[in-house]
Amino acid sequence: MTTQSVTANPKANYIRSLFMCGCLFFIFGFVSWVNSILIPYFKVACDLQSEVQVYLVTFAFYIAYLVMTIPASVLLNKIGFKKGVKIGLWIMAFGAFMFTPAALTRTYWVFLVGLFSLGTGLAILQTAANPFVTIIGPIESAARRISIMGICNKFAGIISPFIFSALVIRQSDKIIMEQVGNGTLVGAAKEAALDQLISGVIVPYLCLGVILFVFGIIFYRSSIPDINPSKDNKAEDGEGTERKSIFAYPYLILGMLAMFCHTGSQVVSIDTSIRYASTMGISMSDAQILPSLTLACILIGYLCGIALIPKYLKQQKALVICTTLGLVLSLLVVLTSGAVRVFGLDTDISLWFLVLLGIPNSLIYAGIWPLAIRNLGKFTSLGSSMLVMGLCGNAILPMIYAAVADKFDFQTGYWVLIPCFLYLIFYATIGHKIEHWCPKRAKK
């Protein structure tokens, strides 16, 4: 793999480029992981009646990765990396601004439109940023660079629920949520209280929209280079440009499914923890720490990845370890029970195995991406788009979880994690090695 066109820049420019990408990944995390608290918030504020309705938050946000990623690839090929990032940030700004009319009318579907717009902008940013981070240096250390970006992402995710709660959920709002939950408020009094509750999102999301719009201009005018993936991600023997179709790369197609399983299972483990804790009698204000604890576990995993990969641990070996540990913890989530007291919360022990899933989840994304995107040559942009499309697992798997939880119970819903980790183990050990669909072709 060659990286001359990118790394030929001075070292200071290289560091500046990673810094700007780190800012992008911080935005990814801040906007994405706040969904974990938007879910129970909208449950009350929009008076939603079923778990499927509640998890439309994640569906509307992440389905954009499936619908808009290929158009994002076409856009980036036409206008370039930097201009594409600017437009992606501006689309996100539009989505943030949509929260104002949605809150003024307390109309759930308008919120969903805003969330879809935020997801669309992120689809563009992910399609642009991930290949940049992957090919800016040697492929064998790509997982380390992605881990650094992941720290920015997950740090934003750790603080975003607390910032949201501090800015949006006032003390009077907590009282309203408790009164609605126990049925004290009814009729016109309930409607007036919910109008007051939902109005809390207006100012924070207006500010977020302005920040996104301004950062789009700053990023576009920065000195970081545009990338040319068709030149910067070719195999040394030119194999990346020999194949006639993107579907002729089995390790990419299988990697796309791996990305679906990983991101979907990760969002299930994070975004459902507050609702799961509520079944144990834990209030939302007390349970809001859970997504942040899971993301803190992911952060620990990223730090381990930076320290160990590639000097002490190959990124593929790390992927095998993490997927196996993920399967073990998932089985403990669905098969164990028992009262424990942790961080002042009296809960079932299975909740804490769910939180600990953050540790193996940390390096799975960083492991899949370089294995799936290697040597694609002229197909790099399209391949990146397909991997980003795999992030639609964030939309679909929580809906499957919600359907199972509605029919049975919350803990039973976590069985959705098991097949995901089984497939991830397959990709980590076998799937990423499959160069051709037919063995005979592999001999040519």
Q: What residue segments make up the domains of the chain, in order of their start?
A: 4-439
Mean pLDDT over 277-295 rounds to 87
Q: What pLDDT does residue 183 have?
A: 75
Question: Which residues, including other chains, have CB under 8 Å from residue 231's CB and lie 6 or more apart?
Answer: 2, 5
Q: What pLDDT does residue 163 have?
A: 86
Exposure class string for 366-398: b at 16+ Cβ within 10 A, else e:
bbbbbbbbbbbbbbbbbbbbbbbbbbbbbbbbb
Q: How far is CA 308 from CA 25, 140, 222, 406, in A?
A: 22, 12, 32, 42
Res. 280 pLDDT band, cuts 50 70 90: very high
Q: What pLDDT does residue 62 have?
A: 87
Residue scoring higher pLDDT (183 or 199): 199
Q: What pLDDT does residue 153 have?
A: 80
Q: What pLDDT does residue 237 have?
A: 47
Question: Which residues, including other chains, have CB under 8 Å from residue 208's CB and lie 6 or more apart?
Answer: 31, 93, 96
For 282-314, give the DSSP string.
--HHHHTHHHHHHHHHHHHHHHHHHHHTTTTS-
Q: What is the mean pLDDT of the chain?
A: 84
Judge whether residue 159 has pLDDT over 70.
yes
| Main-chain dihedrals φ then ψ at residue 281, nearest 5 degrees | 85, 15
Structure-block tokens of residue 367: 């492991």
Q: What pLDDT does residue 54 have?
A: 86
Span 83-112, pLDDT tens digits: 888 999 999 999 999 999 999 999 999 999
Judge whether residue 131 has pLDDT over 90.
no
Based on the number of CB atoms within 10 Å of its own CB, is 13 exposed (0-12), middle (13-18) or buried (19 or more)?
Answer: middle
Percent of the chain with pLDDT over 70: 89
Q: Do the Cβ atoms of 412 and 333 come closer than 8 Å?
A: no
One of 3.30.365.10, 1.20.1250.20, 3.40.50.1820, 3.40.30.10 is the CATH number of 4-439, namely: 1.20.1250.20
Res. 431 pLDDT band, cuts 50 70 90: very high
Sign of CA dihedral 378, 379, 380, 385: positive
Question: How many helical (H) and strand (E) elements, i.e. helices and strands, does the chain have?
Answer: 26, 2
Res. 1 pLDDT band, cuts 50 70 90: very low
CA angle 279, 280, 283 (to 5 degrees): 85
Q: What pLDDT does residue 143 have?
A: 65
Q: Is 426 in a helix, a strand, or coil?
A: helix
Q: What pLDDT does residue 12 have?
A: 65
Helix, strand, coil percentages, rounded to 5, for the chain: 80, 0, 20
Res. 305 pLDDT band, cuts 50 70 90: confident
Spatial distance between the Cα atoms of 99 and 114, rounded to a whole number of angstroms = 6
Cis peptide preceding 310, ω within 30 of 0: yes
Judge whether residue 116 has pLDDT over 90.
yes
Mean pLDDT over 335-357 rounds to 93
Task: State pTM to two decimals.
Answer: 0.75
Res. 440 pLDDT band, cuts 50 70 90: low
Q: What pLDDT does residue 444 have?
A: 45
How many C-beta neighbours within 10 Å does residue 257 have?
18
Q: What pLDDT does residue 2 have?
A: 41
Judge whether residue 230 has pLDDT over 60.
no
| Main-chain dihedrals φ then ψ at residue 40, nearest 5 degrees | -70, -25
Q: Do the Cβ atoms of 295 and 409 come closer than 8 Å?
A: no
Q: What pLDDT does residue 330 have?
A: 97
Sign of CA dihedral 415, 51, 346, 289: positive
